[in-house]
């Protein structure tokens, strides 16, 4: 339990989001929706762009908050400001999220500007989806306060935020960030400085394999998408993939990987940990150990709990999954010989 939860006191935290584009606006909305004030700094250089972006950002943030039932009197304060007035906001900031385009020169220039004006003890979080936090840490003077907070789009709705730290990040700053994210209802996970963090790395494999199946004519785009929404997505929203290896049996994955590698190639080869678990009878629930440990006394209750989660999920999602597809597929291109 955090100090805030223990005392019930809402300690004020100054949050500044630098960059008022898609992610910047979504992050601002996430704080506002949780009842926290936020400063959204629009830092684009030219006057014309500045005014245009600032107006659009303000409008979009307010618009998106309305359907959540926020009473206009109770809407927390959103300050959308330009580069000049952002400087005084940075000077008192506790947390800064950098959300400017994914171009290293732009990140470098904005982060050095942030660094020059920000309070000495503020956490600086990039929202980059590709650069490693180690590269971002090099762009400011004190790397111990730099981390990456990878929000998923739309940032105000998606619960997950992947917090990535470098070897030089102060663990206290990681703790500070994860506590703040929990306070606004997000679900943070922490990972090291590895390309693709957790979600982009997993989803790239799934999306590329789905595209490959369309290319090979295995199934239509509609059927592949439905298979993922009704099968994979439904399953993985209740059981994580490692939990599911244990649930279904590490032996199933071991044999499936061998077969798929022989049929489809090396990208299906199981990593050593899967082979090792198989060799040492750590196949999951059946061995009471795998990626997790299972107490035989409480396993039935654990499984019943997960089944209830599936039932609850399908009660909500079933109608949409059974509805007609909303998209029309692009017709397949003519065979090469007809072109």
Ligand X SMILES: NC(=O)c1ccc[n+]([C@@H]2O[C@H](COP(=O)([O-])OP(=O)(O)OC[C@H]3O[C@@H](n4cnc5c(N)ncnc54)[C@H](O)[C@@H]3O)[C@@H](O)[C@H]2O)c1
Is residue 133 within the footprint of ligand X (CB under 6 A)?
A: no
Among 61, 99, 274, 278, binds ligand X (CB under 6 A): 99
Q: Is 53 in the site for ligand X (CB under 6 A)?
A: yes
Whether 122 contacts 17, CB under 8 Å: no
Q: For ligand X, which residue has the nearest CB?
A: 21
**Nearer to ligand X (CB atom), residue 53 or residue 294:** 53
Stretch that binds ligand X, among 8-16, 36-44, 278-286, 322-330 (CB under 6 A): 36-44
According to the binding rule CB under 6 A, does residue 11 interact with ligand X? no
Q: For residues 203 and 298, which CB has a smaller minimum distance to ligand X in the complex?
A: 203
Residue 196 lies near ligand X (rule: CB under 6 A): no
- Rounded least distance, CB 254 to ligand X, Å: 34
Asked if 247 touches ligand X (CB under 6 A), the answer is no
Q: Candidates 9-17, 122-130, 283-291, 322-330 — which segment interacts with ligand X by CB under 6 A?
A: 122-130
CA distances from 273 to 31, 205, 270 (A): 40, 19, 8
Q: Residue 310: how many CA atoms within 13 Å on its side-chain side?
A: 15
Which residues, 6 or more positions from 314, have their beta carbon under 8 angstroms from its beta carbon?
Answer: 234
Are 135 and 39 spatial neighbours (Cβ–Cβ below 8 Å)? no
Structure tokens at 322: 């059974």
Footprint on residues 205-244 left by ligand X (CB under 6 A): none
Residue 24 makes contact with ligand X by CB under 6 A: yes
Contact with ligand X (CB under 6 A) among 16, 41, 80, 100? 100
Span from 28-36, 121-129, 218-226, 241-249 in contact with ligand X (CB under 6 A): 121-129
Size of the site for ligand X (CB under 6 A): 21
The rounded distance, in Å, linking the Cα atoms of 47 and 109 is 18
Q: According to the binding rule CB under 6 A, does residue 163 interact with ligand X?
A: no
**Binds ligand X (CB under 6 A): choice among 13, 17, 23, 125:** 23
**Residue in the block written with tokens 């990681």:** 174
Residue with tokens 């090469």: 336
In the list 15, 32, 44, 193, the residue contacting ligand X (rule: CB under 6 A) is 44
Told to check if 41 binds ligand X by CB under 6 A, we report: no
Answer whether 91's CB lies under 8 Å from 58's CB.
Answer: no
Q: How far is the CB of 110 from ligand X (least distance, A)?
A: 5
Could you say which of 102, 276, 312, 320 contacts ligand X (CB under 6 A)?
102
Please pick, from the candidates 35, 101, 185, 241, the single residue that binds ligand X as defined by CB under 6 A. Answer: 101
**Residue 129, interface with ligand X (CB under 6 A)?**
yes
Establish if 284 lies at the interface with ligand X (CB under 6 A).
Answer: no
Q: Could you list the residues that contact ligand X (CB under 6 A)?
A: 19-24, 42-44, 53, 99-102, 106, 110, 127-129, 151, 153
């Amino acid at each position: 339990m955090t100090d805030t939860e223990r005392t019930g006191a809402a300690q004020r935290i100054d949050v500044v989001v630098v960059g008022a584009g898609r992610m910047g606006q979504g992050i601002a909305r996430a704080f506002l929706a949780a009842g926290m004030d936020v400063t959204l700094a629009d830092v684009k250089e030219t006057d014309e762009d500045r005014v245009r972006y600032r107006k659009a950002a303000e409008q979009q943030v307010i618009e998106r908050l309305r359907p959540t039932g926020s009473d206009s009197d109770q809407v927390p304060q959103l300050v959308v400001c330009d580069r000049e007035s952002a400087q005084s906001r940075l000077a008192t900031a506790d947390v800064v999220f950098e959300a400017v385009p994914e171009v290293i020169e732009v990140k470098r220039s904005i982060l050095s500007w942030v660094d020059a004006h920000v309070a000495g003890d503020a956490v600086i979080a990039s929202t980059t989806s590709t650069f490693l936090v180690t590269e971002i840490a090099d762009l400011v003077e004190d790397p111990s306060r730099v981390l990456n907070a990878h929000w998923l789009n739309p940032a105000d709705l998606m619960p997950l935020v992947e917090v990535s730290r470098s070897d030089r990040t102060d663990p206290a700053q990681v703790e500070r960030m994860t506590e703040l994210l929990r306070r606004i209802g997000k679900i943070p996970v922490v990972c090291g400085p590895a390309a693709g963090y957790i979600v982009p790395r997993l989803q790239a494999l799934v999306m590329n394999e789905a595209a490959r199946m369309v290319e090979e004519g295995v199934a239509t785009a509609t059927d592949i998408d439905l298979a993922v929404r009704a099968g994979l997505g439904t399953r993985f929203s209740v059981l994580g993939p490692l939990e599911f290896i244990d649930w279904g049996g590490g032996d199933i994955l071991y044999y499936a990987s061998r077969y798929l590698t022989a049929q489809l190639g090396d990208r299906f080869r199981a990593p050593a940990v899967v082979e090792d678990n198989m060799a040492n009878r750590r196949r999951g629930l059946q061995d009471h150990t795998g990626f997790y440990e299972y107490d035989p006394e409480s396993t039935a209750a654990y499984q019943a709990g997960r089944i209830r989660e599936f039932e609850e999920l399908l009660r909500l999602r079933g109608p949409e999954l059974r509805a007609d597809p909303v998209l029309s597929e692009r017709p397949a291109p003519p065979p090469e010989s007809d072109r």
